[in-house]
Structure 1
Amino acid sequence: MVSPNEQPRLPKFFEGTLPQEHSTKWAKCWEDKWTPWDRGGPSMALYDLLKENPDGLIPLPNEGSPKTALVPGCGRGYDVLLLSSFGYDVYGLDVSSQALDAANENAEKALSEGLYKIEGSKRGTIAWTCQDFFAEDWKDVQAPFDLIFDYTFFCALPPPLRPAWASRMKSLLSSGGRLVCLEFPSEKKASEPGPPWAAPPPEYLGYLSNPGAQPQTDEHGGVIAEKTGSLAPDGFERLVHIKPRRTHESGMEDGRVQDYISVWAHANK
């Protein structure tokens, strides 16, 4: 759990840093063993979505149809382990080698203790990969992916990088694949400093509806909800947008869930 004095230090730590230099700052956090964003476990919102799979919208793996998944900015790999328990062959990607050392240690401990029981026909494979999400020349990674899970990754990126985030997601998601976003912090104002940067629903709609393009924003850089634009032919269509029954306490206020979970697919596939 993050102490009240820890989380506000993140915006101060990143203050004045150019967008392209943020990855170095995140790596420094891991080097210093200072990870106030760490959730301490997997996303229950993701678990519930996969378990319930409304209208069968999520392509779940089975013995005759293996599926791959990606968790960018995976940190200690909690959600990588969760997806593996549903049978996905999962890549946990992070820019910090120290983060992946921690993820490997966490995985060994969790699996030895019998956590993450198998939810599908078998446990999927896990691979940790130290890569820049935006680099086009990934090594030893089998892309595209059938499922990508984004939680505390989108909000970790300064807004100028969001068009590139959406464009990269478009190239990484397979035809028929699903991008799942746990939208956080959904009620933060764009005028407030990050990370985490404000991530209300119009941000996801604005960038994913037309990947690579810059939607209209206000003076603080927040997407203007009324001007998100129409769905581009090569954009992402939002299939699901709900408040999860359960989420991490950081996404709640006075017992009320603030987070949203959204599911996206290629519009032209």
Structure 2
Amino acid sequence: MAQNQAEIDAFHKSAFPNANEMRKYLTTESESWDQVWQVTFARFNEANGLTPWEAGAVDIQPPLRFVVESGEVPFPKEGKALVPGCGRGFDTIYLASALGWKTVLGYDVSTTAVTAANDFLKSKAVAPSVAASVKFDAVDFFKLELPEEEKFDLIYDYTFYVAIPPTMRPAWGSQMQSLVKPGGHLITLMFPHVPEPYKLGPPFWSSFENYVEVLGGSNGSGGANGWEIVYNKIPPPEIQSEVHKGKDRIVVWRRV
């Protein structure tokens, strides 16, 4: 059932309390995200900044932790991973630690975010091998071009998709098709996953059908052309925080 505007506004106010303030600084230019990050650290503490996905981010989202640690998806023993729009790097550091891979990259268009991520990594009590495997850099995901031998075995997207305008989603899909090597995986933790699109954002809406559309269109068997779905679940409410209940879906796609 579609949500009315009052329901959407109430959800955004609860889930992303500083989003309206954040939107004042955003323009159509990607560089405006650096302004958002500068204001975040100048005016708010790190647990309650302007970037809504950073608010209260003290742990990894349970659906990601389950996918990585349960063994339901057989990730390789070694590989190269990317977290685009990495922010302070929570997920980048987690993936390096949980997977044990030697190259796990966190890219963000904001140099301020990259500085914050490097500072956060230094503050974490991680094994030297994990710290050595993580690298943060200021890179525009949409301008990234790589030769075949440098493409990724895994890309993880949580909130990067909903941070960009929906008009940019086809370019997001094209980049994922280009950057994930054959046999590699794309993990999409969809949030907020909603029944109908709405205009408010960022964070913008997301839906499984929209991911299928931008990743290559329907393949006629429930997935997207060029991808095989190897994991597709709506997380049970008992493992989620209140704002995530009924608003998450996690899908793992394998590039074919």
TM-score by length of 2: 0.77
2:53 equivalent among 37, 62, 68? 37
Write the letter of the residue equivalent to 1:35.
Answer: T
Instruction: Answer yes or no: is 1:187 the counterpart of 2:164.
Output: no
Output the CA distance in 2 between the equivalents of 1:201 and 1:3.
Answer: 20
SS in 1 for 2:156: strand
Identity %: 32
Pairing 1:72-111 to 2, within 5 Å after superposition:
72-86=84-98, 87-88=100-101, 89-111=103-125
Instruction: Answer yes or no: is 1:259 the counterpart of 2:248.
Output: yes
Q: For 1:101-150, what per-residue CA distance to the aligned partner results, in whole angstroms no more than 9, with x for missing partners?
A: 11111111122xx5xx89xxx647011111110114579xx831111100
Q: Is the 8 A contact 1:209 1:237 kept in 2?
A: no
Whose helix proportion is higher, 1 or 2?
A: 2
Q: Is the 8 A contact 1:146 1:178 kept in 2?
A: yes
Report the CA distance between 1:13 and its aligned residue.
4.7
Q: Is the 8 A contact 1:76 1:103 kept in 2?
A: yes
CA gap 1:3/1:157 in 2 versus in 1, 3 angstroms: closer
Q: 1:244 maps to which residue?
A: 235
Q: Which runs of 5+ in 1 are unaligned?
A: 211-227
Output the CA distance in 1 between the equivalents of 2:137 and 2:124.
Answer: 19
Output the CA distance in 2 between the equivalents of 1:247 and 1:144.
Answer: 33
Pairing 1:131-146 to 2, within 5 Å after superposition:
131-137=139-145, 143-146=150-153
Q: Is the 8 A contact 2:16 2:52 kept in 1?
A: no
Instruction: Answer yes or no: is 1:156 the counterpart of 2:163.
Output: yes
CA gap 1:247/1:166 in 2 versus in 1, 3 angstroms: farther
Q: For 1:27-70, what per-residue CA distance to the aligned partner results, in whole angstroms no more than 9, with x for missing partners?
A: 1101212333303432222111111121xx34232xxxx21110
Q: Is the 8 A contact 2:197 2:205 kept in 1?
A: yes
Root-mean-square deviation over aligned CA pairs: 2.8
Report the CA distance between 1:173 and its aligned residue.
0.5
